[in-house]
Amino acid sequence: MRPKSGLPKRKALRRMPKFTYGFRDNPETKAYRHPTLQPGASVPQEWPTVLSFFSGCGGMDLGFLGGFKFLGQLYEALPLRIVHAYDNNEKAVETYKLNIADDASVVDLSTADLTAFPAVDILCGGFPCQDFSSCGHKLGLKGHRGELYTVMRDYMRIHQPKIVVGENVPHLERMHGGEVLRKIQSELEEVGYRFKLWRMCCPDYGLPQSRTRLFFVGVRNDLPGFPEMPTITQILGRVTIDDAINDLVRVEDESVPNQSQYFVATKATAGAGQGDQKSEAGQLAYTVRANSKARVHFHYSLDRRLTVRESARLQSFPDEFVFPHATSANIMEIGNAVPPIIGHHVAKAITDYFHQKLTVVRPIKSQTSLVGAAER
């Protein structure tokens, strides 16, 4: 089929992408990346500690740390320390280590001995959502992956972190008339917490993609107050798909990492936003999904599906955050991720709460000498 753009038809990258740097050691990110990603830097002991469950490639974790740029905007580094991250997917952990930190392990959390895990201030985890997703088999709590919130509950019972942030798909609210959600929330509350649900429509916070996520935010019962849900940032309008990826239209090589990587596919068809559809310029992108190539939408002006980099942009990953695997594994990691800018809004609300209600956490701006020290 002749490309509508008039540009020559492209072949997908068959080789594995190769990179000199991940986000954590790219010279371009050095001036602003998080202090814990600076070689040799030490951070103040009073910064709250975080443990990351079901960390995937680290979308939520990058958001929690902050210190990255997306579409020219700096998302400031936040006063938090991620102690360790856990996921059972080897490739996702490789991506995490390449871009964020070595403190990540391949672990099946459903069988792990949680008593041996470190105690921290904040537990976060996007527990797997396939059994709750509107596109999945909707097994709910009967599905093996639907039970994994119990790992977070068990950690909470043993180690009693001050704050808990769980993340899932909005469909969870509607399953079995809300029964699934009530059961999860009551089990999490039974171990000594009170929870609120934050339903975040991601385009309201600058994501160029139609995506809503449900955050379970919990505070230990003996602690005062509650974090404030982040306020909407996009009062003046939303960021569209072409705002986010139009500069990549003529980039066919790896001068922008992962931009030559995409699924070869026949042509776009009409659908219900579930894949095989052509994106529309001037609109939000369809939801970036974690599974097969048929879920990756077509470009709005080119005769091909979106590339790995374009998908990563739509999820708000900075271009320095690289994906080292084959297209399918990379798309899986990207589609599974909490968009970093959304994780950042949530984490900012949590650090503000810590600062105001729990401990005096010095704001990160007063830590610039620390970054400077690392650079020297």
Ligand X SMILES: C[S@@+](CC[C@H](N)C(=O)[O-])C[C@H]1O[C@@H](n2cnc3c(N)ncnc32)[C@H](O)[C@@H]1O
- The residues binding ligand X (CB under 6 A) are 54-60, 87-89, 92, 108-110, 126, 128-129, 148, 336-338
Residues 6+ apart with CB under 8 A from 71: 206, 239, 243, 244
Closest CA to 48 of 189, 163, 145, 148: 163
DSSP 63-76: HHH--EEETTEEE-
Q: How far is the CB of 165 from ligand X (least distance, A)?
A: 10
Q: How far is the CB of 132 from ligand X (least distance, A)?
A: 10
Q: Residue 87 pairs with which residues in a beta bridge?
A: 106
Q: How far is the CB of 82 from ligand X (least distance, A)?
A: 12
Token pair in block for residue 136: 């999945």
Q: How far is CA 50 from CA 59, 106, 129, 200, 234, in A?
A: 15, 17, 22, 22, 29
- Taking the least distance from each CB to ligand X, the nearer of 123 and 302 is 123
Residue 106 to residue 68: CA distance in whole angstroms: 25
Q: How far is the CB of 32 from ligand X (least distance, A)?
A: 21
- Taking the least distance from each CB to ligand X, the nearer of 181 and 371 is 181
- Taking the least distance from each CB to ligand X, the nearer of 59 and 242 is 59
Between β-strands 163-168 and 212-220, what pairing exists: parallel, antiparallel or unpaired? Answer: antiparallel
Question: b/e for 84-108, b at 16 or more Cβ within 10 A?
Answer: bbbbbbebbbbbbbbbbbeebeebe
- Is residue 149 within 8 A of residue 169, CB to CB? The reply is no
- Taking the least distance from each CB to ligand X, the nearer of 60 and 285 is 60
Q: How far is the CB of 29 from ligand X (least distance, A)?
A: 18
- Is residue 55 within 8 A of residue 61, CB to CB? The reply is yes
- Taking the least distance from each CB to ligand X, the nearer of 146 and 300 is 146
| Location of structure tokens 């939801």 | 287
- Is residue 296 within 8 A of residue 269, CB to CB? The reply is no
- Taking the least distance from each CB to ligand X, the nearer of 96 and 298 is 96
Q: Residue 105 pairs with which residues in a beta bridge?
A: 86
- Is residue 96 within 8 A of residue 57, CB to CB? The reply is yes
Number of Cβ within a 10 Å radius of residue 69:
15
Q: 3-class DSSP state for residue 282?
A: coil
- Taking the least distance from each CB to ligand X, the nearer of 45 and 111 is 111
- Taking the least distance from each CB to ligand X, the nearer of 59 and 203 is 59
Q: How far is the CB of 329 from ligand X (least distance, A)?
A: 11
Residue 144 to residue 30: CA distance in whole angstroms: 41
Q: How far is the CB of 12 from ligand X (least distance, A)?
A: 24
Q: Which amino acid is at 283?
A: Q
Q: How far is the CB of 219 from ligand X (least distance, A)?
A: 21
Q: Nearest residue to ligand X, using CB?
A: 56
Q: How far is the CB of 127 from ligand X (least distance, A)?
A: 7
Token pair in block for residue 121: 């201030």
- Taking the least distance from each CB to ligand X, the nearer of 302 and 346 is 346
